Amino acid sequence: MEPMTDLQIREQRLVLRVLARWRSLCRGGALPRRAQIDPQFFGQDWANCLLIDVDPKLECSRFAAVGENLRDPSWPTLDRQSLSECQESTLLYVATSYAARVLAKGVPISTGGVGIHEGQPIVYRSILLPLAESEGRIDGLLGAANFREIPVSEEIHPLQEHRLDKPLAVAAATLR
C-alpha cells in the first residue's frame, strides 16, 4: 500500500479521501478485495469507516468493523451486528440504507442529506464502495460517513403566527 499523497491529505471531504484510497487498491479495473482493507491505510479517517460482510439476504449482512464515530449507541460493543439491527435514528443507519443500490450497480455510490443521529437533526455525507475477494460477486462493502448537527432552537427559529393586517384585495393592489 502506498502512502497518502499531499493532495489526498489536503482533501477536506472524507468521502473523497476514502474513495481515493479505494481506487488505489483497485487491480486493473477489478474491485479491491476485502483482505486489502487495512485500518492503518486510512489513518484518522478509519474512525468514520465501516466494513460489511455481504450476505445473499442483504438484511442479514454483518458489520465486520465500525469506526468509533459511527457506532450505534444502542450497541454496547460491536458483536458483528446485522444491517437489520441498525436503529433508524442513527448515522450508521442512513450511511448503509442504500447498500442494495451499490450491490445492484457494482460501483461506489455517495449520498448525503438530513437525518437524525442520537436524537439530534444532522446533515451527513456518506459513501459505500464494493469489495470482491474474487472476480464477479461483491462480498463486502467499505463505507465512510460523517455529519454535523444542525443547530435548531426556538431562539434561532422562533415560531411566529402570521396575521393579515389588510384584506387580501387591498394587499394585492398595493403590490402593483
Q: What letters, b where the CB count within 10 A reaches 16 and e where it falls short, cover 38-63?
A: eeebbeebbbbbbbbbbeeeeeebeb
Quick one: pLDDT band at residue 63, thresholds 50, 70, 90?
very high
**Beta pairing partners, 9:** none
pLDDT beyond 60 at 37: yes
- Across 18-27, 34-43, 114-123, 131-140, least confident range: 114-123
pLDDT beyond 70 at 162: no
Query: What pLDDT score does 173 carry?
Result: 46
What residues contact 53, with CB distance under 8 A and at least 6 apart? 34, 61, 62, 63, 64, 139, 140
Query: What pLDDT score does 7 carry?
Result: 45
Query: What pLDDT score does 6 carry?
Result: 47
> What percent of the chain is modeled with pLDDT above 70?
76
pLDDT beyond 80 at 9: no
Complete edge-to-edge strand list for the sheet that includes strand 62-66: 62-66, 49-53, 140-149, 120-131, 109-117
pLDDT beyond 50 at 39: yes
Report which of 73, 123, 75, 127 is spatially closest to residue 97, judged by C-alpha positions.
Answer: 127
- CA 54 and chain centroid, separation: 17
| Domains contained in the chain, CATH given | 6-151 (3.30.450.20)
Query: What pLDDT score does 75 carry?
Result: 66
For residue 93, which amino acid is it?
Y
Query: What pLDDT score does 172 carry?
Result: 44
Q: For residue range 68-113, what is the model confidence (pLDDT) as tens digits?
A: 888 776 666 667 888 888 888 788 888 999 999 999 999 999 999 9
The three three-digit cell numbers of residue 140, written as one number: 463486502
Q: How far apart are CA 141 and CA 63, in angstroms?
A: 9
Quick one: pLDDT band at residue 161, thresholds 50, 70, 90?
low
